[in-house]
Structure 1
Amino acid sequence: MNFFNNHKKLFGTAALFFIGLTVMVAILPAINNQQHNAPLPGASPLSTDARKGKAIFVANGCVACHTQQVRNVDMDKVWGSRPSLAADYAAIHRTDFWRNTATLMGTERTGPDLTDVGNRQPGKDWNLVHLYNPRAVVKESVMPAYTWLFTVKKEPAKNDVVVNVPAGFMKGADGKIVATKEALYLIAYLQSLKQTPLPDGSSAPAFLYKSGKKTVPGNPDAVPELDGKALFAANCQACHQENGEGLPGAFPPLKGSPVVLGDDLEKYVDIIMNGYDARPEYGAMPSVGTNMSFTENEVAAIINHERTSWGNNGKKVTPDEIKKIIELVKSKAQK
């Protein structure tokens, strides 16, 4: 009983017990993880601008609505090419000595997952318009407009980044919308979010609960025609819009487009795979097809959807002819 009546022995023992448990339960496992988990080969550290952008991402509460974790369920395939691994987060360190806001995996998806957004939506022009007013590019968006990250100038300087905001979303601004350094830092962070490919020979974890594979009636070995509308919605609609009319001053229309309806398939496929810079009339289009590793079947499905929608009446294409053009475009790009 003397032990329980002696506060020095009692609290000293409790402190030692607590410290011992902390070492065994928290510190030693953390050291073990650091020794056995390493970033994937080819993983790129954040640039100085991206690190500043990460701090802005945290300060503005973006982590409350966006996750950065691709779960191993089939429904998450739209967010990345594979489920997330421990190695994806191994190079992330404390923000500083006092703060451990490092791994922004998040817990809620009010907005889309951002694990691979640097590949899904790499275009700076789209990201800046979206940041200034999300409803300019996604009508149903509930994301707030971050207009305080921009300024208005009647005569932008030579090095200013002017944002092509559609007239209906200018909010009475008298002049040009110019991105501040903070906006550019935030975009640099978003563009850095890319899944690192696994080393050659490594197999990615399988997505669970896969839906049954569709087959062609009477020919189970044939590849079924892909849903061009769904592919367009996932990869193209954010800029060119559901109605195919684009956004005046920002992104070109596909409705009645001479590229979409023309006979120059090589140019058409090259734009899908490698992007196109139509400045100053429109923002630059990123290399969507290459970033998303489109196959000839996916490119053909998108082209056929664009050529037969919104009143367009273009000639349909086949995956075989698109495959030849993709190979030609790749060979020219390598020269």
Structure 2
Amino acid sequence: MFDFHKNHKVLVIAALVGFVTLSFIVAVFPAYQMQDVQPLPQQPAMTENEREGLNIYIREGCVSCHTQQVRNIEMDNMWGDRPSIPSDYYYSKERMGVWRQSPSLLGSERTGPDLTNIGKRQPSIDWHLLHLYNPRSVVGQSIMPSYPWLFDIRDTNTVTGDEKVVNLPDAFAPPSGKTVIAKEEALQLVAYLQSLQQTSLPDGREEKFIPALESKQTPGTSEGNDTNALNGENLYLQTCAVCHQDNGKGVVGAFPPLAGSGIVNNKDPELMIKIILQGYDARSEFATMQAFADQLSDAEIAAIATHERTSWGNTGSKVTEEEVRKIREYINKDLNP
């Protein structure tokens, strides 16, 4: 029809028209539509410190192994409270200049976990610094590379009070008389990671996950009362071991040990359950523990608490789902009289 093999002019014009048409469909129109995207009402703008951390995140190639997109399938529920929407990326996708496009953060490979909600899952600055200095110091099986150039190792007697000291386990600590100090770049990167928290959607709007064959329990509820059906050890490894370690010994100067803990071994598990539900920040020598009331069901908390109270030489009694339920109700009643 067009005799492309005989008329090179027609061939070139057809190729040009095809290229321009596809460019508009794939790039121009979507970019134009993105101009209408607005941030969520309660979504905070990025601070200068967090934006510098984003630049370091890109520079160090973190996006090569970590995604920042929660898909709308139930298996992604572990990475976020809801599926991602365009508004989530409003501030991170702001153009860096007329000739500089914003970096792509979605990622395409989860060699490491998704970071969409990492600021909520792991809010502790101490944990992040340990993880950056040497990931094996908090996650023994981690394959993530270390980033020692984001830290300084200095003589302990030269460290000033306004510098952030990184307390490491003995196996990873520097020689005696030396101290690991976080550089400003490390603190900026951690500030960015801590800012990665999904914003709640406005009232009346809901983004749902496509359910799997077996529906997942929601926090505070369970299908039946058999706590033994849940594997407390597996739940502990998934939820708690990143800080308190597989062996329950914690990390000196960062995360307290559970092995031999008076709170864990107490005959009355009430304080322990309250700490899991509400978090803990009463000991200045350790990092803040986040609350798990919105992330774990009563049965899951009971299973984890039972595992902690009966492992590593601990002699506490088992915790029942009913005990957790009563304490959760008491806390909710106290907070919402």
TM-score category by the smaller chain?
0.7 to 0.9
3-state secondary structure, aligned to 2:292: helix
**2:132 aligned with 1:128:** no
Q: Structure 1: which 5+ runs fail to align?
A: 215-219
Q: Deviations over 1:234-272 (max 9, x none)?
A: 221101111112223332211121110114534323322
Quick one: percent identity of the two aligned structures? 45
Q: Is the Cα–Cα contact under 8 Å of residues 82 and 207 in structure 1 kept in the other structure? A: no
Distance 1:97 1:208 in 2: 43
Distance 1:275 1:221 in 2: 26
Distance 2:76 2:26 in 1: 32
For 2:62, give the aligned amino acid: C
Distance 1:29 1:136 in 2: 43
* CA apart distance, 1:132: 0.8
* CA apart distance, 1:286: 2.6
1:243 alignment partner, one of 228, 235, 247: 247
For 1:134, give the aligned amino acid: P
Distance 1:333 1:164 in 2: 35
Q: CA RMSD in A?
A: 3.1
Distance 2:216 2:84 in 1: 24
3-state secondary structure, aligned to 1:177: strand
Distance 2:134 2:204 in 1: 43
Distance 1:70 1:173, change over 3 A: farther
TM-score by length of 1: 0.84
Q: Is the Cα–Cα contact under 8 Å of residues 54 and 189 in structure 2 kept in the other structure? A: yes
For 1:162, give the aligned amino acid: V
Report the equivalent of 2:235: 231
My pick for the range that moved more, 312-321 or 239-248, is 312-321
**2:32 aligned with 1:31:** yes
3-state secondary structure, aligned to 2:34: helix
Report the equivalent of 1:315: 317
**2:215 aligned with 1:199:** no
Distance 1:313 1:97 in 2: 64
For 1:147, give the aligned amino acid: P
**2:168 aligned with 1:157:** no
Distance 2:51 2:35 in 1: 22
For 2:171, give the aligned amino acid: G
Distance 1:21 1:72, change over 3 A: closer
My pick for the range that moved more, 179-188 or 151-160, is 151-160
* CA apart distance, 1:104: 0.4
* CA apart distance, 1:34: 2.3
Distance 1:329 1:162 in 2: 35
Q: Is the Cα–Cα contact under 8 Å of residues 83 and 208 in structure 2 kept in the other structure? A: yes
Q: Is the Cα–Cα contact under 8 Å of residues 249 and 257 in structure 2 kept in the other structure? A: yes
Distance 1:18 1:73, change over 3 A: closer
Q: Is the Cα–Cα contact under 8 Å of residues 174 and 180 in structure 2 kept in the other structure? A: no
* CA apart distance, 1:213: 6.8
Q: Is the Cα–Cα contact under 8 Å of residues 77 and 209 in structure 2 kept in the other structure? A: no
My pick for the range that moved more, 12-21 or 156-165, is 12-21
My pick for the range that moved more, 166-175 or 14-23, is 14-23
Distance 2:247 2:301 in 1: 19
**2:289 aligned with 1:294:** no
Distance 1:221 1:211, change over 3 A: closer
**2:182 aligned with 1:190:** no
Distance 1:10 1:229, change over 3 A: closer
3-state secondary structure, aligned to 1:254: coil
**2:62 aligned with 1:62:** yes
Distance 1:50 1:297, change over 3 A: same
For 1:190, give the aligned amino acid: L
**2:258 aligned with 1:257:** no
* CA apart distance, 1:78: 1.7
* CA apart distance, 1:173: 6.6
Q: Is the Cα–Cα contact under 8 Å of residues 153 and 174 in structure 2 kept in the other structure? A: no
Distance 1:132 1:102, change over 3 A: same
Q: Is the Cα–Cα contact under 8 Å of residues 67 and 107 in structure 1 kept in the other structure? A: yes
Distance 1:138 1:314 in 2: 26
* CA apart distance, 1:176: 1.8
Report the equivalent of 1:139: 140
3-state secondary structure, aligned to 1:95: coil
Q: Deviations over 1:170-201 (max 9, x none)?
A: 24374221111111000000001111222222
3-state secondary structure, aligned to 2:153: strand
TM-score by length of 2: 0.83
3-state secondary structure, aligned to 2:70: coil
